[in-house]
A and B are shown apart, each in its own frame.
Chain A
Amino acid sequence: MNISRREFLQMLAVASASGISLPACESSNAAKKSTSPYELPAFGNVSLMHYTDCHAQLMPIYFREPSINLGIGSMKGKPPHLVGDKFLSYYGIKPGSRDAHALTYLNFVEAARQLGQVGGFAHLSTLVKNIRAQRPGSLLLDGGDTWQGSGTSYWTDAQDMVDAQKLLGVDVMTAHWEMTFGAERVKEIIEKDFKGHIDFVAQNIIDNEWGEPVFPPYVIKDINGVPTAIIGQAFPYTPIANPRYMVPDWSFGIRDDRMQQMVDEARGKGAQVIIVLSHNGMDVDLKMASRVTGIDAIMGGHTHDAIPRPVEVKNAGGTTLVSNAGSNSKFLSVLDLDVKNGKVRDYRYHLLPVFSNLLEADKEMSAYIDKVRAPYMDKLGEQLAVTDELLYRRGNFNGTFDQIICDALMEVQGAPISLSPGFRWGVSVMPGEAISFEHVMTQTSITYPSVTLNNLSGTRIKEILEDVADNLFNPDPYYQQGGDMVRVGGLKYSIDPAAKIGSRISDMELDGKPLDAKAEYPVAGWASVAQPLDGRPVWDVVAEYLRDIKTVKHVELNQPVIKGASDNPGFSATT
């Protein structure tokens, strides 16, 4: 179904009449505010739509943004490392507004009750069609982390998302978690499903043996007569953050030098606009933009930062815009470029929150989603327990849903300590809501889900915490991997994020006693990247725990003592 522009406007008119205010996340240099956030003022001749890190969320969801997102060193207080009020004042967004709810954790529960869910491919699809109608010839870019993150994507081996991407009209994509379906499956999808529909680009994936490119590095598309190159940048640390055995023949990495070559090559072939579709993570995007010249915009993802205005990064060749567009199908960004005489002269940028109540579900996409979910509805719908408290994941150190996972691992596995990865995907569950098996899958659905139980020495546990902390807080973004701190059950500790590796973690205690460096402690965990395991999948362990406790009354969040962060604009004491 293709809703007409008139129908769309009528629908918005109904929304306004019912008293819902609709400010858009517009860049401050936008010419003039239109009456609705989804009706954008015309600008330029080249438009790109971008969504990223949807993590296979086909259905509308709740997603609470972080209250702790620390920037260290030169990154302190700069986008994306701003939370809550600091975020709002930096971008001049009115507290209590719709945008404030979309972009920050402030007053989350109350605002979410009032404004409803976000995202969902059927609602996203309506928005994409509408922007396409407003901006003929525009491209839709998918930044990756699309195939992984739900029960249905796991059970269908990513087929549900592949078909949804095609239906949504994705033109170009790059990747990260896609790789965890294995190299063979990735190639199969690209060669069979994507052929003639979606260009899969990645300049930084190189064959291990010969150093040759595995995928096309870029594609040049004609947008209203303007040759526009889209260069792919896959997540540089995929074989480190995820199992290397799944992509044994491919090497990744940042590869600035090759990026520069590809930019120059595409320009040489006549490209007038160069866009990098990136899964670097925003700090890495910003550094890359300062080093590589000739890129007009890096449209990024991975770190799940929803940033309402691009950062203009100066480099030796001019200025490169860096935008990041959030996660979980919660946002669609639109970049409009005014290109004349082979050069980008000006731009407008809009980060549009996808409010499910304001965008009618696209019928064709809805029907598709219903069909693809039908065989799994019983399983997905099982109500495991009811929560009295908001459950969420996102934040540098811990989230209430992660605490439940940590508690489940300790309880079911019989261990005094548990470790759970600091993933940034996973939806929020509202107070009073039933926690369904589907919710648990949004937090745990990976292709290496086995739970583990290992005896680790105090020294080894400290090494692990130090290692992960350095991946998050290294002052050089090129040494960061982009996840959050490993979630810890049972063990107490302090962390000084600004310290060097080896001295960030201190005061490690278990049951009120200092951790003994030499003693061994049973540690429960999951998502081991070392080798394939046959253990029980973590979602079964969490489901068993929730069925048993029936009600989540109060989650005792095991948060480390965070040193030196109280004045950091990426820190809020509110949990």
Chain B
Amino acid sequence: MIDMKRRTFLKGSVAAGAISAAMGAGLLTPRMVLAAWPTAAFEAKTVDSALDALMGSHQLEGSDKISIRAPDIAENGAVVPISVETSIANPESISIIAEKNASPMTASFLLGTGAQGFVSTRIKMGKTSSVIAVVKADGKLYSTGKEVKVTIGGCGG
């Protein structure tokens, strides 16, 4: 079932990461690690203000070169797996927004030069909402969205 070799390998590689090791040893707090944390963007209450704070603009252009993988109905609103992949050339960042969350900006990944346009994470969702992926490239913001339903559950078949 689970490939134990792979699990061991991944554990090892995480432990060897310099930042993780330093954090584990209590040398760094998360705030210090994330020195340039864009507080305003992640505490903004609307999609537009979050984008303005992070990107300086909320002008989004729809793109079919971005795909979002997310469940149609979340199994657990507290950990909703989201993957975003884009074929847009030279992506600078990929951000994930849950429109109806109290603070919609859930994650933003800065990509180095030549990085593949793919990120995968888990986000928290309070209720049914559109999840929007925003890719910044060539100074422009491209986006696509997908509805993820958060339900109280029960009462099935």
Interface residue A145 (Cβ < 8 Å from any Cβ of B): yes
Interface residue A360 (Cβ < 8 Å from any Cβ of B): no
B72 touches A478 (CB 8 A): yes
Cβ proximity bits B52-81 to A, threshold 8 Å, 1 near / 0 not: 000000000000000001011111100001
Interface residue A527 (Cβ < 8 Å from any Cβ of B): yes
Interface residue A303 (Cβ < 8 Å from any Cβ of B): yes
A421 to B6, CA, bound (A): 42
Chain A interface, number of residues (Cβ within 8 angstroms) = 47
Known: A210-B7, A244-B75, A253-B75. A468 touches B155 (CB 8 A): yes
Interface residue B90 (Cβ < 8 Å from any Cβ of A): no
A467 touches B75 (CB 8 A): no
Which residues from chain A contact B147 at a C-beta distance below 8 Å? Answer: 479
A177 to B157, CA, bound (A): 9
A479 touches B73 (CB 8 A): yes
Interface residue A439 (Cβ < 8 Å from any Cβ of B): no
A145 touches B157 (CB 8 A): yes
Interface residue A464 (Cβ < 8 Å from any Cβ of B): yes
Which residues from chain B contact A468 at a C-beta distance below 8 Å? Answer: 154-155
A252 to B72, CA, bound (A): 11
Which residues from chain B contact A238 at a C-beta distance below 8 Å? Answer: 156
B157 touches A423 (CB 8 A): yes
Which residues from chain B contact A212 at a C-beta distance below 8 Å? Answer: 1-3
A210 touches B156 (CB 8 A): no
Interface residue B151 (Cβ < 8 Å from any Cβ of A): yes
Q: Which B residue's beta carbon lies closest to that of A467?
A: B152
Cβ proximity bits A449-475 to B, threshold 8 Å, 1 near / 0 not: 000000000000001100110110000
Known: A241-B155, A241-B156, A253-B75. A479 touches B3 (CB 8 A): no
B154 touches A421 (CB 8 A): yes
Q: Which A residue's beta carbon lies closest to that of B74?
A: A240
CB distance from A159 to the nearest CB of B (A): 23
B71 touches A253 (CB 8 A): yes
**In chain A, residues 269-307, which have Cβ atoms closer than 8 Å to a Cβ of chain B?**
281, 302-304
Given contacts A207-B1, A210-B6, 5 further A-B contacts (CB under 8 A): A237-B73, A237-B75, A242-B156, A424-B157, A483-B156
Interfacial residues, chain B to chain A (CB-CB below 8 A): 1-3, 6-7, 69, 71-76, 81, 128, 147, 149, 151-157
Provide a sorted-by-A list of 29 A–B residue pairs whose CB atoms are within 8 angstroms: A176-B157, A177-B157, A209-B2, A210-B6, A212-B3, A235-B156, A237-B73, A237-B75, A239-B76, A240-B73, A240-B156, A241-B153, A251-B75, A252-B75, A303-B157, A304-B157, A421-B156, A463-B152, A467-B152, A471-B151, A476-B72, A478-B72, A479-B72, A479-B73, A481-B73, A481-B156, A527-B155, A528-B154, A529-B154
